[in-house]
Amino acid sequence: MNAQIPEPAILEVNNLKTYFFLERVTVRAVNGVSFALPRKSTLGLVGESGCGKSITAMSIMRLYQEPPGKIVDGQIFLRTGEGQAVDIATLDPKGQEMRHIRGGEIAMVFQEPMTSLNPLYTVGRQIAESVEIHQKLGRKEAMGRALEMLDKVQISAPRQRLNEFPHQLSGGMRQRVMIALALSCNPAILIADEPTTALDVTVQAQILDLMRQLQADFDSSILLITHNLGVVSQLADHVAVMYLGKIVEYAEVRELFHHALHPYTMGLLNSVPVFGKKSGQVLVPIKGMVPPATTQVTGCAFAPRCPYVMPICLEQEPPLREIAPGHTAACHLY
């Protein structure tokens, strides 16, 4: 019996470096990131604010301001429905091919819908306009698709919402509209950047359930960007932990939560309250702050905050290597 050949990942990021060249300093926002997003799966990209998660997403979508931003190295391979690999990093951000990918092949749900939805247009018109551009449908058919998507995201009174403006909706409704807009053109990949941050706990749970259900319905892959480990534990299949523009640990979600290897990942897990533990559990914060992305680091970037720091950590940057099957970490402890 022949061994099954693994299906190539739908998105593959190799040694991505996105810098911002300002007047006096260079901001190394993404500084050598590599990961793969398998088809029909969810990858959680986690880390503290300022570690480069959102700029990684913006680099994939080519939505950062250029200049001062620029991809200085690396590849972003997208495997389309035809099986061809396109390197997004080489495309013109304003060109026709990139416009087709953005919305057609890859769609994004942003953290705050009010900054992403146009306040001057109705919800229905905004979804229909995207469908008209990417699906080449007429206005009537596009509005029908908009209504269908609002129904799919379980928004109340979807026909009424078609003719309402974003300011007339609650935060949870606006986030559902953003998901409907993102999925209206059947993209292969959905990038969700902190999709539940501005919502209360009850609505967060509803949005996570909705994303899980829609992923199954649309056979899409999700890149979930968040600092909320609870969200990652519910939705992700694999987790990549970022620190100062680099990935420091990668593993299957259960493996990471039960056998974290990198001291930074351990610190993140120890600083989060766990439901069901005995009362009196002590949360241990990570000392210090993430250094600015303008810092030239020698050795391990986490060394100044690490409880296990050794002399080699201050001199040599640890490579990201496989410590256990499917589990990689960048740490001199291993």
Which CA distances in Å does 159 have to 97, 142, 212, 243?
33, 14, 24, 44
pLDDT for 82 equals 67
Measuring CA to CA, which residue among 230, 228, 231, 253 is closest to residue 240? 253
Q: What is the pLDDT of residues 237-268, one digit of tens each?
A: 999 999 999 999 999 999 999 999 999 999 99
Give 182's contacts (C-beta < 8 A, 6+ positions apart). Answer: 107, 108, 109, 190
User: Is residue 224 domain-resident?
Assistant: yes
Q: What is the pLDDT of residues 111-161, one digit of tens each?
A: 777 788 999 999 999 999 999 988 888 999 999 999 999 999 989 899 999
pLDDT for 321 equals 94
Q: Kindly state the tokens that stand for 305.
A: 């905050």
What is the chain's pLDDT, residue by residue, as a tens digit (334 residues)? 444 445 789 999 999 999 999 999 999 999 999 999 999 999 999 998 889 999 999 999 999 988 999 999 999 999 876 668 899 999 999 999 999 899 889 999 887 777 889 999 999 999 999 999 888 889 999 999 999 999 999 898 999 999 999 999 988 899 899 999 998 988 999 999 988 877 788 888 888 888 888 888 888 999 999 988 888 988 999 999 999 999 999 999 999 999 999 999 999 998 876 655 555 667 777 888 888 888 888 999 999 999 999 999 999 999 999 999 999 999 999 8
Q: Is 265 exposed, middle or buried (0-12, 13-18, 19+ CB in 10 A)?
A: buried
**The dihedral of CA 82, 87, 90, 95: what is its sign?**
positive
User: Is residue 168 domain-resident?
Assistant: no
Measuring CA to CA, which residue among 299, 238, 243, 300 is closest to residue 268? 243
> How far is the C-alpha of 217 from the C-alpha of 183, rounded, in Å?
11
Q: What is the pLDDT of residues 202-213, one digit of tens each?
A: 888 888 888 888
> How far is the C-alpha of 228 from the C-alpha of 196, rounded, in Å?
9
> How far is the C-alpha of 56 from the C-alpha of 62, rounded, in Å?
10
Tell me, what CATH number does 76's domain have? Answer: 3.40.50.300
User: Is residue 50 domain-resident?
Assistant: yes
User: Is residue 179 domain-resident?
Assistant: no
pTM: predicted TM-score of the whole model, two decimal places: 0.90
Domains contained in the chain, number: 1
Residue span of the structural domain in which 69 resides: 11-119+187-207+216-329
pLDDT for 280 equals 61
User: Is residue 99 domain-resident?
Assistant: yes
Which CA distances in Å does 202 have to 228, 299, 320?
15, 43, 38
User: Is residue 194 domain-resident?
Assistant: yes
pLDDT for 3 equals 44
User: Is residue 144 domain-resident?
Assistant: no
288-322 b/e (C-beta count within 10 Å ≥ 16 → b): eebbebeeebebbbbbebbeebeeebeeeebebee
User: Is residue 140 domain-resident?
Assistant: no
